[in-house]
Amino acid sequence: MIMALRRRVLDVYAGIALLYLFLPIAIVIAFSFNNPRGRFNYTWEGFTFRNWLHPFSYPGLGPALRVSIEIAVLSSLVATALGTLVALALVRYKFRGSASTNLLIFIPMATPEIVMGASLLTLFLNWRIPQGFGTILIAHVMFNISYVVVTVRARLVGFDRHLEEASMDLGANEAVTFLRVTLPLIMPGILAASLLAFALSIDDFVITYFNAGTVTTFPLFVWGAARVAVPPQINVIGTAIFVVAVGGMLVNVLWQNRRARRA
């Protein structure tokens, strides 16, 4: 009886915790349908689909989102390629310097973003590199590499090398073995890493703020708007990014479950 009650207590607690996690998100989604009379979108004034039908009617929002998506796509592609190679080296080989490599992978994740942003700013100032799209891209690739390495490495550790040996025994060379055996097996890890990198990039504010020059990404646009008035169109884009990202993760989780069942 008491044990059953305690079980319930934990269930109820978890339910409340999940509600707490989703409360701000519910507010964001609800206010994307708000019809504010003035410039402020803080109080509920009435329901409308207008913001969803014309999200880019608010000046500057479209271009900012476009820059964010371009940077997220490019930086996640580059960081996934570089990070996957590093992960392969770390798991597959014993070599001098692997400990310092691990350290160099770990330190960026343990450094406050503001310090990374500030140090990159001083680098670009010293080298007289004008800030803009290129410097944002460089910064995003930099902070994404570590996360890609950690994600792909987790997948590689449980990898059965006998499968590669079998492929080589059957006459495939190293390149064919890599493309037909190794890559498909670690693909879920690579996919998860690139999704994570994409999400981190499109959400980044602090490092971008220090290195954007005059270019505006979506988070920078929100920051600028927060000083004057936040239009409901921002909630529309925020909700859309949320739906796409969670949808992508859901597909990845389901795909991995199906593979696990088949295996």
Partner 1 sequence: MSAQATASSAPQRRVSRARLRRGAAPYALLSPGMVWLLIFFVVPMAYLAKMSLETGLFPLFSFDWAWHNFSDAVSAYRTQFLRSLAYSGAATAIALAISYPLAYWIAFRGGRWKNLFLLLVIAPFFVTYLIRTLAWQTILADNGIVVRVLRDVHLLGADGRLLATSIAVVAGITYNFLPFMVLPLYVSLEQVDPRLIEAAEDLYANRVRSFLRVTLPLSLPGVFAGVLLTFIPAAGDFINAQLLGTPRQYMIGNVIQSQFLSVRDYPTAAALSFVLMGAILVLVLVFTRLLGTDRLTAAAAAT
DSSP state at residue 56: G
Residues 83-122 that bind partner 1 (CB under 8 A): 83, 85-86, 88-90, 92-93, 95, 98, 101, 104-105, 107-108, 110-116, 118-122
Nearest approach in angstroms of CB 23 to partner 1 is: 7
Query: By CB under 8 A, is residue 24 in contact with partner 1?
Result: yes
CA dihedral sign of residues 210, 213, 216, 217: negative
Q: Give the dihedral of Cα atoms 204, 206, 209, 215; nearest 10 deg.
A: 0
Burial status of residue 41 (CB atoms within 10 A of its CB: 0-12, 13-18, 19 or more): buried
d(CA 262, CA 153): 23
DSSP state at residue 42: S
Nearest approach in angstroms of CB 21 to partner 1 is: 5
> Of 62, 132, 134, 238, which lies in the binding site for partner 1, with binding defined by CB under 8 A?
238
Number of residues in contact with partner 1, rule: CB under 8 A?
84
Burial status of residue 142 (CB atoms within 10 A of its CB: 0-12, 13-18, 19 or more): middle
Nearest approach in angstroms of CB 200 to partner 1 is: 10
Nearest approach in angstroms of CB 199 to partner 1 is: 6
Query: By CB under 8 A, is residue 177 in contact with partner 1?
Result: no
Query: By CB under 8 A, is residue 228 in contact with partner 1?
Result: no
Contact (Cβ atoms closer than 8 angstroms) between residue 49 and residue 57 = no
Return all residues near 29 (Cβ < 8 A) that are at least 6 apart: 235, 239
Residues 43-82 that bind partner 1 (CB under 8 A): 43, 81-82
Near partner 1 by CB under 8 A, which window of 155-163, 175-183, 184-192, 244-252? 244-252
> Of 69, 102, 203, 213, which lies in the binding site for partner 1, with binding defined by CB under 8 A?
203
Residues 130-149 that bind partner 1 (CB under 8 A): 138-139, 141-142, 145-146, 149
User: Which 3 state secondary structure label does DSSP give 206?
Assistant: helix
Both tokens assigned to 134: 């290129």
Near partner 1 by CB under 8 A, which window of 12-20, 50-58, 157-165, 182-190? 12-20
Radius of gyration of the chain from Cα atoms? 23
Between residues 116 and 215, which has the closer beta carbon with respect to partner 1?
116
> Of 5, 20, 158, 160, which lies in the binding site for partner 1, with binding defined by CB under 8 A?
20
